[in-house]
Every structure is written in structure tokens, then in C-alpha cells.
Amino acid sequence: MKAIKTMLTASAVVVATAALSGCNMTSSSGTSSAAADTNSAVPAQGFAEGAKVYAIVNLHSDSPKNKLYAMNYQLPKMLPICSEFVIQDISTKVIELTYKGLEYDYVWDGHTKKAGQSLEENFMLFFGESCDEAKAKVKTLSEVDQKGIKRGKPIVGMTKEGVLLAMGRPPIHATPDLEGDLWTYWINRWVRHILEFNDKGELVKVIK
């Protein structure tokens, strides 16, 4: 695999904390909004081969293959918030990482590409240079949010912020706007669940 030796460029990177902070934004109508612009570029600041990065949401990996997907499949093995990784190699379709001595591949996909989100932009929705902000955010959330985050699963009554930390961002091609009341997650390649929120941004139903 041919490595990209330069740091990820500012024009290709999005930080997931923008999505999390967006859940606290207030719209002109005064309601809570999760409308962070998840395609806005911010400086990469050190994301390169050999750099340490931290999970800023729970990750759900393909355990037998040690793969993480840009589609954010909600697979059974959970790697919790603040898990520490080292970037080993960056190519056009895969980012190779190590975690606790194991090698992981972070894999881009055609759906995400067609939606206009690059591998680097997608990667930065799940990883950051620090997990301090995510850790602090968890402490401010409700008991039901914290329970869902600990499990890595949606629980009725959770807020959008809690769901983002527990599950990561839903795939952009199916849920381009986090302001919407319906978020679609794939459990695997064949099964999807739809999360329904009320106008307060609270989870009211998981449609399977």
C-alpha cells in the first residue's frame, strides 16, 4: 500500500466535535439543533503517520477482521471512547492503525465517497488528537445518556448528543443532516435500524 507521507490537509479534514457541539446550537426558532456542518474543513494539526489519535466516540469494529468502516456499522465489538490508536499508514482508501498491539484497518466505502465525504473527513468524525472534550461532555449528560454510552447502544430517552457519543455519526449518505428526526444506522451490511427523535432531540423509538 502506497503511503501518503504528508499530513492530512486542512481542506480534507472534519473534526467530530463539531458535530457534538452542533447539538447544543440554538436555531432561530430557539430549539436545540444538531446541524453542525460536518463538511466544514478545519486544520489537521498533526494527523500523520506515526501520530497518536484517540476515539472521540465509541467505535464498533469487525472483530474477526479488525476492521473499522466509514459506514460505521454497529458491530458487536465496542472500542470505548478515549481508546488510543497510532496511525501507521495513510492511503487513498484505507488508514492503518494499531490499538493495544493489534492492527486495524479503517476502510472507506463507495456510499460515503458518492455522498461527497472523503476518507480523511470521515475519519475525523471518529478520531481526534485528544479525547478530553468528549470525556468532559459525557459527564454533563443525563443518566440514560451515560448508560447508553457505556453500552454503546441507543436507549429510549437519550439525547442526540448521547447517541453520537454512544454510536458515532450515522452514515452521511443516509443521514446527511443531523437536524432531522430520523437517523439511519447499519448494524451490518444487510440490517439497518432507524432512530426516531422527538422535537426536543430525545430518542423515542428504535425502528428495526
Type of residue at 63: S
Type of residue at 201: G
Nearest to 69 by CA among 100, 31, 107, 42: 107
The residue segments making up the domain with residue 129 are: 10-207
The total of other beta-carbon atoms located within 10 Å of residue 92's CB is: 10
**Residue 167's pLDDT is what?**
98
33 within a domain of the structure (yes/no): yes
* Residue 139 backbone dihedrals phi, psi, to 5 degrees: -65, -20
3 within a domain of the structure (yes/no): no
Contact 58, 79 (CB under 8 A): yes
27 within a domain of the structure (yes/no): yes
17 within a domain of the structure (yes/no): yes
Strand partners, 78: 60
46 within a domain of the structure (yes/no): yes
DSSP per-residue letters across 87-138: EEEE-SSEEEEEETTEEEEEE--HHHHHTT--HHHHHTTTEES--HHHHHHH
2 within a domain of the structure (yes/no): no
Type of residue at 11: S
User: Which uninterrupted H or E stretch holds 148?
Assistant: helix 143-151
1 within a domain of the structure (yes/no): no
Domain count for the chain: 1
- Digit-by-digit pLDDT tens for the chain (208 residues) are 444 433 333 333 334 444 554 555 333 334 444 434 444 333 355 579 999 999 999 999 999 999 999 999 999 999 999 999 999 999 999 999 999 999 999 999 999 999 999 999 999 999 999 999 999 999 999 999 999 999 999 999 999 999 999 999 999 999 999 999 999 999 999 999 999 999 999 999 999 9
CB under 8 Å, gap of 24 or more: what pairs does 98-107 form? 102/66, 103/66, 104/61, 104/66, 104/67, 104/68, 105/65, 105/66, 105/67, 105/68, 106/67, 106/68, 106/69, 106/70, 107/67, 107/68, 107/69, 107/70
The total of other beta-carbon atoms located within 10 Å of residue 180's CB is: 13
